[in-house]
Chain A
Amino acid sequence: MTVPVKRGDGRVALTYLAPALLVLVGLMGYPIYQLVLISLFDYGQEQVSGGAPLTFLGLGNYARLLADDRFWAVLGQTVGFAAVCVAGTLLVGAALAVLATRVRAWARTTLFLAALGAWATPAVAGSTIWLFLFDANLGFVNEVLGTTGFSWTYDKWVAFGLVAAQVIWCSFPFVMVTLYAGIRAIPGEVLEAAALDGASTARTATAVILPLLRPILVVVTIQSIIWDFKVFTQIYVMTNGGGIAGRNLVLNVYAYQQAFAASEYGLGAAIGVVTTVLLLLVTAGYLRALRRGGEEL
């Protein structure tokens, strides 16, 4: 509800907004502008310390990236890794949300408490715990499987799989809780009406429950894509900075390593711009597809 317009409203509103605007412009707006700017220059250690003049490269950094096989490999890995994480998170989250509606309160509470624990674990702590569980010599998993000495972080794909499992572990609770709330919000009458009309369970699920849940599914899917596309901590901690010879790099970690480890700030910024654009494209494309499907957000 908006109060009717009074004189001086604009000024009061601005006073209320000013502090937040100041922070947002200074620490989000300006850095976004700077990111694009830095990506257009040859910005190395000498330029940072002021020992060498800046060279304007235009799209030079981008051209260098596009011609680099490694960039394409990392891009492919990032998309594949994010896709696996998103699919896994949604599958586990949705399955457990449905399961939670089918059990009595005590079982549901047990499940939710466990999920709450995984959700609350900070990424660094979670990554470290998983590393210890899967440790080659001291890890419990190798002990149980009888594979003592097997390194889960040595092979590129096994390492990616381990990180993906950790990411799914800490992100499915959000999907589960949100979907569970959504299912619970469906009025009982709707389901009764479907039952009276003789709809089977499968038909009720696809023709009644799923359409009603779609807005929530959209939100959790977009959130998962955005989160999983920019996983940083788990990759960094679990594969020790991107794996042996950088085999487990994703775009975010790649950009970070280029900038802060190799002192190629311009190139790192260019990767950052590419990541941002990709993410905005994914979000926009997804929203458009949904709107075309007649969905209101």
Chain B
Amino acid sequence: MNRRVSRGVAEAVAVAAAAVVAFPLYWMVLTALKPEAEVVSADPRPWTLAPTLDSFVRALTVQSFGRYLLNSLVVATAVVLLSLLLSFLAATALTRFRFRGRTTMLVMLLVVQMVPVEALTIPLFFVMRSVRDVAPAFGLNHLGSLVLVHLAFSLPFAIWMLRGFVAAVPAELEEAATLDGASRSRFLWTVLFPLVAPGLVATSVLSFIHAWNDFLFAKTFIISAAENQTLPLALQVFVKPDQNDWGAIMAGSTLMTIPVLVFFIVVQRRLVAGLAGAVKS
């Protein structure tokens, strides 16, 4: 009996905590759905009886969120695909081959993860300025510059995380494949790649979120080409003193949060397993 009471109390606390944690998100969606008059009311109510999609329409059309949403998607997708390819190859090299400098490289990958990304904004700004002269699509004011920096920042962790998954594939499998006459690259893509898929999924979620959430580099690199801005910065640009269109801003925030949330829910089990795997190794 006593135990049941204490469990009941624990459950009440859990639900209360969940409500507090979820409240800001509820308020975001609610505000996005409220008619404008209710949003600017000095007497905000935690419900609305006249939900409308006006704020979403305003955000997507007047404030061209659609364009920024697309830019963000392009950057994040490119980062995920490139990072998957590069980290898979690198992780394979680091786990399935013995060569000089291998340990040094692993240690470097760990150390590099500790360097605060934000401190590198200044030199990277100059790097991107020089890249602009050689390959404009990857320089300042272009989405390519964002793809490059996020690729660089997601690689060390991605390689580190994938190592465990690649190492878990037994060596006998590779020997068997070789005996069956499979070439190295055939083994790599038709045997190894599918086997480490759970690791690849967990890794891509993290790379995706990294690129999707970035505010600092979008702010620094995309200076004058407003049409190449990504969502996090666009959202910020619409915040103006005393004349905020909060409905549109909350609609934009909702549009920005949903892809990540969907991604999280779809892969949550694998993500936790991946995190646990990374912690263990």
Contact = CB atoms under 8 A, between A and B. Distances in A.
A188 interface: no
Contacts of A140: 27, 44, 46
B171 A283 contact: no
A276 B40 contact: no
Q: Closest 5 interchain pairs by CB?
A: A272-B119, A27-B152, A34-B123, A16-B93, A1-B171
B232 A31 contact: no
Judged by DSSP, the binding face of B is helix
Given A169-B21, A181-B272, A132 B122 contact: no
Nearest to A265: B122
Given A1-B169, A115-B21, A138-B44, A124 B27 contact: no
Given A10-B100, A103-B11, A169-B24, A178 B235 contact: no
Interface in A261-297: 265, 268-269, 272-273, 275-276, 279-280, 283
B232 A219 contact: no
B215 interface: yes
Nearest to A253: B118
Contacts of A35: 119-120, 122-123
B40 A138 contact: yes
Interface residues of B, number: 100
A125 interface: yes
Contacts of B39: 138
Nearest to B233: A124
A84 interface: no
Nearest to B235: A124
B170 A1 contact: yes
A54 interface: no
B48 interface: no
B257 interface: yes
B161 interface: no
Given A103-B11, A110-B18, A178-B279, 20 more contacts: A1-B171, A12-B184, A20-B89, A31-B124, A31-B127, A99-B13, A102-B7, A104-B11, A111-B15, A113-B22, A117-B25, A120-B263, A121-B253, A137-B42, A181-B272, A268-B122, A272-B118, A272-B120, A272-B121, A276-B115
Interface of B: 6-7, 10-11, 13-15, 17-19, 21-22, 24-25, 27-28, 31, 39-44, 46, 85-87, 89-90, 92-100, 102, 105, 111-112, 114-127, 148-149, 151-153, 155-156, 159, 167, 169-171, 174-175, 184, 209, 212-213, 215-216, 220, 231-233, 235-236, 239, 246, 249-250, 252-253, 256-257, 260-261, 263-265, 268, 272, 275-276, 279
Contacts of B10: 99, 102-103, 107
Given A19-B89, A20-B89, A118-B21, A283 B261 contact: no
A53 B93 CA distance: 45
A9 B153 CA distance: 28
A251 B4 CA distance: 50
12 contacts: A17-B105, A20-B87, A23-B151, A24-B156, A28-B115, A102-B10, A110-B18, A124-B213, A128-B235, A129-B250, A177-B275, A272-B119
A38 B17 contact: no
Contact of A3 (B21, B99, B175, B213): B175
A116 B25 CA distance: 11
A114 B18 contact: yes
Given A17-B94, A111-B18, A237-B236, A232 B216 contact: yes
B44 A181 contact: no
Given A1-B171, A34-B126, A103-B14, A236 B215 contact: yes
Interface in A111-169: 111, 113-126, 128-133, 135, 137-140, 143, 148, 169
B152 A28 contact: yes
A23 B17 CA distance: 43
A118 B264 CA distance: 11
Contacts of A12: 93, 97, 184
B182 to A, nearest CB: 13
B251 to A, nearest CB: 11
A261 to B, nearest CB: 12
Interface in A179-220: 181-182, 185, 215-216, 219
A56 interface: no
Contacts of A30: 123, 127
A126 B276 CA distance: 26
B174 A3 contact: yes
A286 B17 CA distance: 31
A255 B119 contact: yes
B21 A114 contact: yes
Given A3-B171, A28-B112, A124-B215, A118 B7 contact: no
Contacts of B102: 13
A55 interface: no
Contacts of B256: 122, 124-125
A260 B220 contact: yes
A32, A102, A129 interface centre (most CB from chain B within 10 Å): A129
B31 to A, nearest CB: 7
B14 A27 contact: no
A108 B264 CA distance: 17
A112 to B, nearest CB: 8
